[in-house]
Amino acid sequence: MAKICFGIDIGGTTVKIGVLSMEGKFLDKWEITTRTEENGKYILGDIADSLKKYVADKGIDMADVVGAGMGVPGPIKDDGTVLKCANLGWGVFNCAKELSDLLGVPVKAGNDANVAALGEQWQGGGKGHDDLVMVTLGTGVGGGIILGGEIVAGVNGAAGEIGHIHIVAPEDTIGTCGCGNHGCLEQVASATGIVKLAKRLVEETDTPTSLRDLPQITAKDVLDAAKAGDAGAESVVDKMAGYLGDALAAICAVVNPEIIVIGGGVSKAGQYLIDKIQAAFTPNAFHALRDTQFALATLGNDAGMVGAARLVLQ
């Protein structure tokens, strides 16, 4: 039978489990609930049970399973040691070794944002490029740096934490970032940040905007209104894209990647958003960085599973 591998993406609510070919194609995928009770002590056992049942049901020989990769929502060292994982209730322990002992196959683990970046590099928006920066614009702003086809994890597992680059001018900073700082990129470039900027526009200015008529504003509302020509909404997008483009120019001055891949829920705004970000990036980027390519992520919620599988194949 052909060799296969498992790609596991552990989130605070569900664990996504994928079975992939060596070429990175899905053979199967499903989700199980993340049981975070009792400091998340059941999570790895539940994953192992689910995979063992799958293997038994399908009549798969475990000798054909090359290994399992796993993305976890927190800082993690190359050897699989989780440093802290508040969402799961996990303290410090080697999650890769523990799952490997349960499954009897090699396991590698990485930070979920980094692993998703690796997925996009292998099979998604960054396919064909060894050096890539990925930005995930969701509730927060995550990031992943891939150089030479491998994750840059950093000595504390904090490489690619680009949502916490301190870049926002005091006049555009609203409240405190989740990390405790002020002026983090995440405060303006995440879905949450876009909504905050839009609410400030509605509540603190007389700028005409269709957003004023909405009972509740979402990031999608803002981007849709901007695309439809609403100047007020566009000013919010320009501010968000301005800071993001400037931060990306700084990131490129550090690692000079071939391509920047933009993912996360906010990236559903598509090429319109890419154009806005690129318009801010280009004038602020060092001349040798101006031909950096931009692309949309293509794997969506599958990126973590694909990247996790890649991790164990490296």
**At residue 150, what is the residue type?**
E
Q: Which is nearer to a copy of itself, 105 or 289 (CB)?
A: 289
Q: Which stretch binds a copy of itself (CB under 8 A): 43-51, 228-236, 254-262, 264-272?
A: 254-262
- Tell me, residue by residue from 5 to 44, as one string, x for binding to a copy of itself by CB under 8 A and - for no binding: ----------------------------------------
Cβ 113 to a copy of itself shortest distance, Å: 12
Structure tokens at 291: 């031909």
Which residue in 244, 91, 235 sits closest to 167, CA to CA? 244
Helix (H, G, I), strand (E, B) or coil at 290: coil
Per the listing, tokens 């994890």 go with 153
Site for a copy of itself in 185-244 (CB under 8 A): none
Structure tokens at 108: 């590698």
Judged by CB under 8 A, which of 16, 164, 196, 276 binds a copy of itself? Answer: 164
Angle formed at CA 157 by CA 103 and CA 298, multiple of 5 degrees: 75
What lies within 8 Å, CB to CB, of 269 at 6+ separation is 220, 223, 227
Give the residues across from 69 on adjacent strands. 7, 108
Structure tokens at 285: 């980027």
Site for a copy of itself in 60-99 (CB under 8 A): 75
Judged by CB under 8 A, which of 99, 146, 153, 260 binds a copy of itself? Answer: 153
Cβ 179 to a copy of itself shortest distance, Å: 6
Per the listing, tokens 């928006």 go with 125
Q: Which stretch binds a copy of itself (CB under 8 A): 28-36, 102-110, 177-185, 303-311?
A: 177-185
Q: Which is nearer to a copy of itself, 6 or 294 (CB)?
A: 294
Cβ 165 to a copy of itself shortest distance, Å: 4
Judged by CB under 8 A, which of 258, 272, 296, 300 binds a copy of itself? Answer: 258
Which residue in 310, 255, 314 sits closest to 115, CA to CA? 310
Judged by CB under 8 A, which of 44, 113, 159, 191 binds a copy of itself? Answer: 159
Inter-residue contact 119 to 82 (CB < 8 Å): no
Cβ 183 to a copy of itself shortest distance, Å: 8
The neighbour count for residue 53, using CB atoms within 10 Å, is 10
Cβ 26 to a copy of itself shortest distance, Å: 30
Q: Cα(188)–Cα(205) distance, rounded to whole angstroms?
A: 18
Q: Which residues bind a copy of itself (CB under 8 A)?
A: 75, 131, 145, 147, 152-162, 164-167, 169, 179-181, 183, 246-247, 249-258, 283-289, 291
